[in-house]
Amino acid sequence: MLPTLVLVGRPNVGKSTLFNRLTRSRDALVADQPGLTRDRHYGRGRVGTKPYLVVDTGGLEPVAKDGILYEMARQSRQAVDEADVVLFIVDGRAGCTPQDTIIAEQLRKTGKPILLLVNKAEGMQRMRVIADFYELGLGEPIPISSAHGDNVNEVIEIALEDFAPESEEEDKEEHPPKLAIVGRPNVGKSTLVNAILGEQRVIAFDQPGTTRDSIYIDFERDGKQYTIIDTAGVRRRGKIDEAIEKFSVIKTMQAIEDANVVVLVVDGADQITEQDAHVADFVLQAGRALVLAVNKWDGLDAHQRDMVKRDIERKLHFLDFAKLHFISALNGTGIDKLLKSVDEAYAAAMIKLPTPKLTRALMAALEKQQPPKGARFRPKMRYAHQGGSNPPLIIIHGSGLDDVPASYQRYLERAFCEMFRLQGTPLKIQFVSSK
């Protein structure tokens, strides 16, 4: 499981500036999604060999007992409850405010590890900027500048001290395809999990831990083994009523991170919402193979179906690498085809491409379309090899490759996907320039 850092603090202290710095992604696919990313609160990042998840709570204010602000505060509290480390951000220029004191008290009660970060500290004298915040009783305040990056990496290293670096071993281990069923509440995830498991033999049940832990269920279908990562909750056969779902974004992020293939379930009887887009955005960030399931297709007339299709085209067009299935989890229709796409996406995500084959594909793509000339000379690509899978990572070696524009990179990604018939997975390209 990736460590989860949760950012907390009153408005305007610099949380989203810090969030952006911690999640700064060079992934053009993600960066190009206006509307989807403007208001991003969930992301992933890494320092050195340590990847992490980060959640910006947006604020942890004591507010009214209902309405949207209350809901936000509730979600923020849940994120704090599920955090591995809380980063409490205060404003070094404003000094310690009564609101900071209230938040500090709330945080202390959670018993979570907390780092107290004094932001906007650039150009200020260390002792002066932190002196005011000892009274919060959260240990040594750490001055940072989110805007300039001062001390930010160091802070994350401290936060992740107790977490092991990413192991390469895990990737090599053979295991059945891990399939995460994700989506916002009530779209039909647990109905789908039950439909998939059906009368199939359930080999093992794992006990659930806390709310942030998904349930892993091994099963066999048509002679093939899978593991379902069930984010919806406990759904034991015969005890369906006992199931309680507590939607948790962090749980969803962890499940996506750990999966080989994600099945994103949306509700065909409802609009695509911002929450759907947030989950979709995270699938993209994680680079996971994806199958999109539009559920509750039963009981919709032709006109309604048309509307749903258009809604998806408009709002989720950036998921166009994924196969789209219209299903009814309730009636069990469309499940076989859905799983076929899962198999296909798994094979694509885990494909092994030998260097000569990749290099030939690269040459064919170059022949069709040369990269544009850079500032001084034309980038020269010599050969390609595979640097990883889930998703496939293709490393291209050559010279002058810093000048390759994102649009050409995307052209190559598409070309590789086409040539190797990779359906359902994104593909990443990395350039390595030799001098």
* Binding residue numbers for GTP: 9-16, 56-60, 119-122, 183-190, 230-234, 295-298
Torsion of CA 136, 142, 143, 147, to 10 degrees: -100
Q: How far is the CB of 309 from ligand GDP (least distance, A)?
A: 17
Residue 323 or 325: which CB sits closer to ligand GDP?
A: 325
Q: How far is the CB of 326 from ligand GDP (least distance, A)?
A: 10
Q: How far is the CB of 44 from ligand GDP (least distance, A)?
A: 19
Q: How far is the CB of 91 from ligand GDP (least distance, A)?
A: 8
Which residues sit at the interface with ligand GDP, rule CB under 6 A? 9, 11-17, 119-120, 122, 145-148, 183, 185-191, 232, 245, 295-296, 298-299, 328-330
Residue 215 or 412: which CB sits closer to ligand GDP?
A: 215
Q: Tell me if 384 sits within 8 A of 366, measured CB to CB.
A: no
Residue 208 or 299: which CB sits closer to ligand GDP?
A: 299
Q: How far is the CB of 149 from ligand GDP (least distance, A)?
A: 9
Residue 188 or 400: which CB sits closer to ligand GDP?
A: 188
Q: How far is the CB of 310 from ligand GDP (least distance, A)?
A: 20
| Residue 178: Cβ within 10 Å count | 18
Residue 186 or 275: which CB sits closer to ligand GDP?
A: 186
Could you list the residues known to form a binding site, using ranges: 9-16, 56-60, 119-122, 183-190, 230-234, 295-298
Residue 13 or 358: which CB sits closer to ligand GDP?
A: 13
- In three-state form (DSSP H/G/I as H, E/B as E, the rest C), the secondary structure along the chain is CCCEEEEECCCCCCHHHHHHHHHCCCCHHHHCCCCCCCCCCEEEEEECCEEEEEEECCCCCCCCCCHHHHHHHHHHHHHHHHCCEEEEEEECCCCCCHHHHHHHHHHHHHCCCEEEEEECCCCCCHHHHHHCCHHHCCCCCEECCCCCCCCHHHHHHHHCCCCCCCCCHHHHCCCCCEEEEECCCCCCHHHHHHHHHCCCCEEEECCCCCCCCCEEEEEEECCEEEEEEECCCCCCCCCHHHCCCCCCHHHHHHHHHHCCEEEEEEECCCCCCHHHHHHHHHHHHHCCEEEEEEECCCCCCHHHHHHHHHHHHHHCHHHCCCEEEECECCCCECHHHHHHHHHHHHHHHCCCCCHHHHHHHHHHHHHHCCCCCCCCCCCEEEEEEEEECCCCEEEEEEECHHHCCHHHHHHHHHHHHHHCCCCCCCCEEEEEECC
Residue 77 or 148: which CB sits closer to ligand GDP?
A: 148
Q: How far is the CB of 426 from ligand GDP (least distance, A)?
A: 25
Q: How far is the CB of 152 from ligand GDP (least distance, A)?
A: 9
Residue 15 or 323: which CB sits closer to ligand GDP?
A: 15
